Amino acid sequence: MSSFDWKSEVVVVTGASAGIGAALAREVGKRGGTTVVAARRAAALEDVARSTGSPSLAVVADVTRRDQVEALARAAIERFGHVDVWVNNAGRALTRPAIELTDDDVDLMIRDNVKSALYGMQAILPHFRARGRGHLINVSSMLGRVPFASFRAAYSAAKHALCSLTENVRMDLATELPEVKVACVYPGVVYTDFGTNAVGGGPDSRSLPGGQTAEEVATVMADAIASRAGGDVYTRPEALERVLAYYRGLA
């Protein structure tokens, strides 16, 4: 693969009307890349697209709908000719302990956090296969590795499922398409309105200790794009040791 050049990169980011997605779009734009931003909130999405300072396309899409994700991929390719990076960032939390979960709770978390990413991967992979290269990035959570917040049980379980799904895709493509990189990103607490938007309420993420700003997470993700990182990407240097310590404790 040729050397990396941000000016030639087209990056699709879902869940981009606020939080990590918006911060990543701005970081990509600051580095000279082109962005395609997707979310359901049209006005906020247009604001993000304008704020990138680089070529950008806003596509209103509900990524829990397969047809709308496929339309997003088509719109990006039609506008810019190709896609280099696809970031499945959209997701949603739910606050309820495992013993109290309903069928609807579990279905909602799988739809919003797993199926939405699956639709994205399936929509863009034919394009990556035709080009022989590309970069798939799924945004999980530290709760997808370490279930340290039991009131987010269904969200944690869904993010665990996303981790597994991502790794299976990475292994499936490793031989056939070695230049298609597949990564899973693991933020911890991020100072956004994510917590207050959780189904069933919950603590405001901005009130919790030890968090990161969305901009800090976006910087790590943009660095991962530039290095074509595959596998796990932790947004805090101590995060991997926390994961390893947890699993050593279970042994």
246 tagged catalytic: no
**Using a CB cutoff of 8 Å and minimum separation of 24, what contacts does 164-169 make?**
165/114, 165/117, 165/118, 165/138, 166/117, 166/136, 166/138, 166/140, 169/121, 169/136
For tokens 């790590």, the residue is 220
CA distance 170 to 182: 5
Query: Could you give the C-alpha distances from 228 to 165, 172, 178, 223, 232, in angstroms and in order?
Result: 19, 18, 11, 8, 12
Name the catalytic one among 119, 155, 186, 191. 155
At 138, the amino acid letter reads: N
Catalytically annotated residues: 155
